[in-house]
Amino acid sequence: MNATPVKPPKPLFSNVSPAVPSPCISICRLDEDKVCTGCQRHVEDIREWRAATDERRREIVRQADQRRSTHCVAR
């Protein structure tokens, strides 16, 4: 009898990269500009994250960092 090879289950997030960790801090609220008040990513950046390359993820993180520093200075 031939044994059918068992495939491991696919991970829930197939493009999780340890090289660029998610900036999410689990404070998920959007402001009037559709920017998360926790991680400072725009809603479109959040949607794109799973499929984004490491290079694109780094750019998203840079943009979020800029928003965060601008937001802190404005206060």
Q: Is the dihedral of CA 65, 37, 33, 47 positive or negative?
A: positive
What pLDDT, on a 0 to 100 scale, did the predictor assign at position 26? 95
CB 57 within 8 A of CB 49: yes
- 43 part of a folded domain: yes
Is the predicted pLDDT of residue 12 greater than 70, yes or no?
no
pTM score of the predicted model: 0.72
Report the number of distinct structural domains present in the chain: 1
The 10s digit of each residue's pLDDT in 32-68 is 999 999 999 999 999 999 999 999 999 999 999 999 9
63 domain residue, yes or no: yes
Within-domain flag for 29:
yes
Residue 15 lies in a domain: no
Tell me the pLDDT of the chain averaged across its residues: 86
Q: Which domain holds residue 61?
A: 21-75
pLDDT score of 16: 61
All residues at 6 or more sequence positions from 40 whose CB lies less than 8 Å from its CB, including other chains: 23, 64, 65, 67, 68, 71
Whether 5 is covered by a domain: the verdict is no
Instruction: Round to the nearest angstrom and report the end-to-end CA distance of the chain.
Output: 71
Q: Angle at CA 59, nearest 5°, toward 53 and 65?
A: 135
What average pLDDT does this structure show over 25-29? 95
